[in-house]
A and B are shown apart, each in its own frame.
Chain A
């Protein structure tokens, strides 16, 4: 890594950090100055103290939501990639899936979650995980399918000149070419998987995830705790996002190279 990329990375971290601090300070001052009631908006310091106090509760709920998100994320990535590969070989399939994808994404999550909740026994996390899987699947499918299609024609032609099998073309050209697209999809899908898990929890099912905890804290007037749960949800989303970025950085070094040109 050279100094320019180092400097750019430092700027990438510093700018949102400074901005975040400014927002927090402004929030604190504003609430104190206007004497806003805690049930409307507590101060960041109250929320922080509550979070430190109830850190075990926050951790437990975060793990439940995090696990729902990661299981759905991994399933969605695997299924999305495999289906994209099959669709690349059989044109008919991709013509079937694309309108289906459009139709399903037009259905609100509430509806799908309610349907799924009815399919599985009470206390099961399966419905939430399936909901995450569905959302992640489409993001991954669309991107990977594009990556497989956009392989360098020179490379594909070379493979044909070597009399390579379709399987070799897929393994040695199309898949590696689709890797940057896959990781772009994962970067988009990772934070979405957390919000989807979180929203799915909110609409019924077991009471142990962040989505339910926020709802129940707020309705029992534990506002600072509710906000602490919101903060935990943000943190889980950030961790997922960061992990996806680090993964991309490690997995497709040639893409890193392309970007820095």
Chain B
């Protein structure tokens, strides 16, 4: 980028509006009391549209808090945050993002199709349009024959796929995921990772993905954001981008291992920067 930009040059370069733009965001719980916890301190992060960004760090470093601040489920105590160029609240009201958690959080009394249709129902879509959309989403997550099943009839992996289908149903440009595969077994998990990548490639969705698995972060991400606890802050951001043609062979490639090592070292560094230098990066999985 050139050093001097005229206003016309800025307009002409047509920089896309960032999916997420966080500027010195801070979040304290119970501020001003003895129970004050500084969950986030001075977090600055810009995420481009279509980018896949993972947040990694030991338990309690503020990953979920950061995700919830982006989702406007928590208000930051300092700094500014824009989602799709709007305030986080406006982005939430516009259903600009979909969300998935470690618990699939399916509604037990609704069948699979009606679970996927829930956000559309809230948006006021009519029934015909909702049905068409849930059918489409079931194709996308490769469960086309399960529309009328009840959640309890599905395996954990299938439930999680339905949760992803639901998060994407309103076609949001942004997907926020908090350890969505954390409760799955290793085989299902790798399968789901590949599936998520192909869904994102098909839809062009931006993803912010919280995980505590280093290989998962490296396999999925364009960039891995490494965080440290007490107070929660970003200590480094690592470019990964293993390319579009990721498959099971990617997991064997030396580049994959090199990136894993790089993230692991960043996490160690982060931990040394924190106060618990002797205990190691707890809660991080090498698998």
The residue in A158, A172, A257 that gathers the most chain B C-beta atoms within 10 A of its C-beta is: A158
Question: B172: nearest residue on chain A (CB-CB)?
Answer: A161
Q: Is the CB of A160 within 8 A of B107?
A: no
Q: Which of B17-25, B98-106, B226-234 contacts A (4 or more CB under 8 A)?
A: B98-106
**Residue in contact with A163 in the complex, picked from B93, B105, B107, B152, CB distance below 8 Å:** B93
Q: Which of A49-57, A149-157, A203-211, A218-226 contacts B (4 or more CB under 8 A)?
A: A149-157
CA distance A157 to B67 in the complex (A): 12
Q: A157-B73, A160-B73 are in contact. Are A257 and B109 (CB under 8 A)?
A: no
Question: Does B48 sit at the interface, judged by CB under 8 A?
Answer: no
Q: Is the CB of A161 within 8 A of B107?
A: no
Question: A156: nearest residue on chain B (CB-CB)?
Answer: B105
CA distance A253 to B151 in the complex (A): 12
Question: Does B249 sit at the interface, judged by CB under 8 A?
Answer: no
**Residue in contact with B99 in the complex, picked from A161, A252, A253, CB distance below 8 Å:** A161
Question: Does B281 sit at the interface, judged by CB under 8 A?
Answer: no
Question: B121: nearest residue on chain A (CB-CB)?
Answer: A172
Question: Does A179 sit at the interface, judged by CB under 8 A?
Answer: yes
Q: Is the CB of A254 within 8 A of B118?
A: no
**Residue in contact with B122 in the complex, picked from A154, A157, A164, A252, CB distance below 8 Å:** A164
Q: Is the CB of B97 within 8 A of A254?
A: no
Q: Is the CB of A163 within 8 A of B103?
A: no
**Residue in contact with A254 in the complex, picked from B73, B108, B119, B123, CB distance below 8 Å:** B108
Question: Does B71 sit at the interface, judged by CB under 8 A?
Answer: yes
Q: Is the CB of B150 within 8 A of A254?
A: yes
Q: Is the CB of A158 within 8 A of B105?
A: yes
Question: Does A173 sit at the interface, judged by CB under 8 A?
Answer: yes
* Chain B min CB distance to A220 (Å): 54
Q: Is the CB of A163 within 8 A of B73?
A: no
**Residue in contact with B105 in the complex, picked from A152, A176, A253, A257, CB distance below 8 Å:** A152
* Chain A min CB distance to B203 (Å): 18
**Residue in contact with B95 in the complex, picked from A163, A179, A258, CB distance below 8 Å:** A163
User: What is the size category of the interface that chain B forms with chain A?
Assistant: 20 to 34
Q: Is the CB of B71 within 8 A of A172?
A: no
Question: Does A162 sit at the interface, judged by CB under 8 A?
Answer: yes
* Chain A min CB distance to B210 (Å): 14
Contacts of B123 in A (CB 8 A): 162
* Chain A min CB distance to B171 (Å): 14
CA distance A200 to B123 in the complex (A): 51
Question: Does B268 sit at the interface, judged by CB under 8 A?
Answer: no
User: What is the size category of the interface that chain A forms with chain B?
Assistant: 20 to 34
**Residue in contact with B107 in the complex, picked from A173, A253, A258, CB distance below 8 Å:** A173
Question: A152: nearest residue on chain B (CB-CB)?
Answer: B105
Q: Is the CB of B109 within 8 A of A158?
A: no
Q: Is the CB of A162 within 8 A of B109?
A: no
Q: Is the CB of A176 within 8 A of B97?
A: no
Question: Does B92 sit at the interface, judged by CB under 8 A?
Answer: yes
* Chain A min CB distance to B77 (Å): 19
Contacts of B98 in A (CB 8 A): 161
CA distance A157 to B99 in the complex (A): 9
CA distance A176 to B121 in the complex (A): 16
Contacts of A158 in B (CB 8 A): 99, 105, 118
Q: Is the CB of B103 within 8 A of A154?
A: yes
The residue in A159, A161, A163, A253 that gathers the most chain B C-beta atoms within 10 A of its C-beta is: A161
Q: Is the CB of A172 within 8 A of B105?
A: no
Q: Is the CB of B107 within 8 A of A155?
A: yes
Q: Which chain B residues (17-54) contact chain A, with CB distance < 8 Å?
A: none
* Chain B min CB distance to A18 (Å): 34
Contacts of B71 in A (CB 8 A): 161
Question: Does A168 sit at the interface, judged by CB under 8 A?
Answer: yes
CA distance A133 to B108 in the complex (A): 31
CA distance A83 to B60 in the complex (A): 39
Question: A164: nearest residue on chain B (CB-CB)?
Answer: B122
Contact code string A165-186 (vs B, CB < 8 Å = 1, else 0): 0001000110010010000000
Q: Which chain B residues (81-134) contact chain A, with CB distance < 8 Å?
A: 92-95, 97-99, 101, 103, 105, 107-109, 118-119, 121-123
Contacts of A157 in B (CB 8 A): 73, 99, 101, 105
* Chain B min CB distance to A156 (Å): 9
User: Could you pull out 9 A-B pairs where Cβ atoms are within 8 angstroms?
Assistant: A155-B105, A157-B73, A158-B118, A162-B123, A163-B94, A176-B107, A179-B109, A254-B152, A258-B152
Interface residues of B (CB under 8 A from A): 71, 73, 92-95, 97-99, 101, 103, 105, 107-109, 118-119, 121-123, 150, 152
Other than A158-B99, A172-B107, give 18 A-B pairs with Cβ distance below 8 A.
A154-B101, A160-B92, A161-B71, A161-B99, A162-B118, A162-B122, A163-B93, A163-B94, A163-B122, A168-B122, A172-B118, A173-B107, A179-B109, A253-B150, A254-B150, A257-B108, A257-B150, A258-B108
